[in-house]
């Protein structure tokens, strides 16, 4: 039989083990309680979302309890959000490729909750981009939860005045999409917030979609361009396929003609071999070539010389899309070099 001292030790160890179990249970209970009363819920976008267009996306979260919310995009903190009834709205301008979004709820210097999202900004005119496996587009107006979560504050169905609102703020789209026009050059329908002139409110399953290819929609207003392009013997690839938005942003841009990049940068995205500077002439003792940038345009001295100085970016009757109705290289050169 065990001695009295051994019995006392065994009883003490038993009591200590019971106490540890109680303490552990309290800790787990408090952890579950904190999780169930999380200070925020991240509503949009889902993780591993692909974004196109101009790389603009909304981040929407709902606060459940008072907390200091900090949002970082690629490590940089964002300005304070617009808050309506505990719903926080952030307007993100993404960088090409992979973007990391981090949302934290802070109590003092302590992080009490954290969520992360990976968002991929893909553009067909960007070099070396390939959508990672597991990423997909998640359109806001196509989400099943959009109507339930947002209709309390936002009008998601169009009204008759949306076809030509008297003021931007009269548009149902303005409250969420105002940031799309914060650029130097704004396209006409977008400037008037006449969104329904291009976007189909009856489209399904994605609402407010535009046709693919978008050419016929653009030609509804740009009739002169349509006649010129179709009467030309040769068409540039994006023109021939009717994908105007490969090069042009249909809403707004910091570049003229709503181009997605400066003209030279835009052309060399696809025609990378011309970016070396060895173009047209690359022979003789010096090996000098014709410049493709960095000089005034002889025909339009107020703008920089670029690919479009010699080539029409849409259509032409010349095989290499030459300007000035030139049918031979000699005729093209003679336009500027009349010596």
pLDDT of residue 142: 65
Q: Give the pLDDT score at 207.
A: 83
- pLDDT tens, 118-172? 999 998 888 788 999 999 988 877 655 555 567 667 777 788 888 889 999 999 8
CB 294 within 8 A of CB 303: no
Q: What does the pLDDT read at residue 26?
A: 43
Backbone angles phi, psi at 42, to 5 degrees: -85, 110
Say how far apart CA 113 and CA 292 lie, in whole Å.
Answer: 53
Contact 206, 139 (CB under 8 A): yes
- Dihedral of CA 151/153/201/117: which sign? negative
Confidence (pLDDT) at 33:
39
Closest by CA position to 16, among listed 8, 27, 26, 5: 8
| Tokens coding 177 | 């999409």
**What is the rounded CA–CA span in Å between residue 245 and residue 258?**
10
- Determine the length of the chain: 339
pLDDT computed for residue 274 by the predictor: 83
Q: What is the pLDDT of residue 143?
A: 56
User: How confident is the chain (339 residues) per 10-residue block, as mean pLDDT?
Assistant: 56 57 46 56 92 88 82 92 80 93 90 94 86 90 61 76 89 87 93 93 84 93 94 94 93 94 91 79 61 88 91 94 90 84
Domains annotated on the chain, with CATH? 40-143 (2.60.40.10), 174-252 (no CATH), 276-336 (no CATH)
pTM for the model: 0.75
- How many angstroms separate the CA atoms of 218 and 16, rounded? 78
- Rama region for 55: left / alpha / beta (φ>0; ψ in -120 to 50; rest): left
**Residue 22, CB-side half-sphere exposure with 13 Å CA sphere:** 6
Please tell me the predicted confidence (pLDDT) of residue 219.
95
> Which residues sit opposite 80 in a β-bridge?
none
Neighbour tally for 57: CB within 10 Å: 22
Distance of CA 148 to the CA centre of its chain: 25
**Residues paired with residue 40 on neighbouring β-strands, in sequence order:** 63
- CA 114 to CA 100: how far, in whole Å? 13
State the burial class of residue 97 (Cβ atoms within 10 Å of its Cβ: 0-12, 13-18, 19+). Answer: middle
> 3-class DSSP state for residue 255?
coil
Contact between 236 and 315 under an 8 Å Cβ cutoff? The reply is yes
What pLDDT sits at residue 301?
Answer: 87
pLDDT at residue number 158: 83
User: Token pair of 200, please?
Assistant: 């189909």
* Residue pair 45/57 in contact by the 8 Å Cβ criterion: yes
- Compute the half-sphere exposure of residue 180: CA atoms within 13 Å on the CB side of its CA: 22
Report the pLDDT value the prediction gives residue 146, as an integer from 0 to 100: 57
What's the sign of the alpha-carbon dihedral 131, 133, 135, 137? positive
pLDDT at 199: 93
Q: Could you tell me which residues come within 8 angstroms of residue 26 by beta carbon, excluding any fewer than 6 positions away?
A: none
């Amino acid at each position: 039989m065990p001695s009295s001292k051994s019995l006392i030790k065994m009883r003490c160890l038993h009591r200590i083990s019971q106490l540890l179990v109680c303490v552990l249970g309290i800790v787990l209970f408090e952890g579950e309680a904190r999780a169930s009363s999380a200070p925020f819920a991240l509503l949009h976008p889902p993780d591993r979302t692909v974004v196109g267009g101009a790389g603009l996306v909304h981040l929407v979260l709902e606060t459940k309890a008072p907390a200091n919310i900090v949002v970082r995009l690629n490590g940089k903190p964002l300005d304070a959000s617009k808050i309506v009834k505990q719903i926080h709205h952030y307007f993100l301008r993404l960088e090409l490729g992979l973007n990391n979004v981090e949302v934290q709820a802070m109590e003092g210097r302590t992080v009490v909750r954290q969520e992360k999202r990976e968002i991929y900004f893909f553009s067909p005119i960007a070099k070396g981009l390939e959508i990672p496996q597991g990423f997909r587009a998640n359109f806001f107006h196509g989400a099943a939860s959009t109507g339930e979560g947002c209709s309390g504050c936002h009008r998601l169905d169009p009204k008759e005045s949306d076809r030509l609102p008297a003021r931007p703020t009269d548009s149902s789209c303005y409250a969420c999409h105002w940031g799309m026009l914060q650029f130097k050059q704004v396209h006409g329908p977008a400037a008037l917030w006449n969104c329904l002139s291009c976007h189909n409110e009856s489209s399904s399953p994605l609402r407010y979609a535009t046709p693919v290819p978008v050419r016929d929609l653009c030609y509804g207003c740009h009739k002169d361009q349509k006649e010129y392009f179709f009467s030309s013997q040769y068409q540039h690839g994006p023109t021939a396929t009717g994908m105007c938005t490969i090069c042009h942003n249909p809403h707004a841009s910091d570049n003229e003609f709503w181009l997605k990049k400066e003209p030279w940068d835009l052309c060399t995205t696809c025609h990378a071999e011309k970016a070396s500077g060895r173009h047209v002439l690359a022979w003789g003792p010096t090996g000098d070539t014709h410049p493709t940038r960095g000089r005034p345009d002889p025909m339009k001295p107020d703008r920089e010389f670029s690919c479009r100085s010699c080539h029409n970016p849409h259509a032409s009757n010349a095989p290499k899309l030459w300007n000035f109705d030139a049918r031979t290289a000699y005729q093209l050169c003679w336009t500027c070099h009349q010596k």
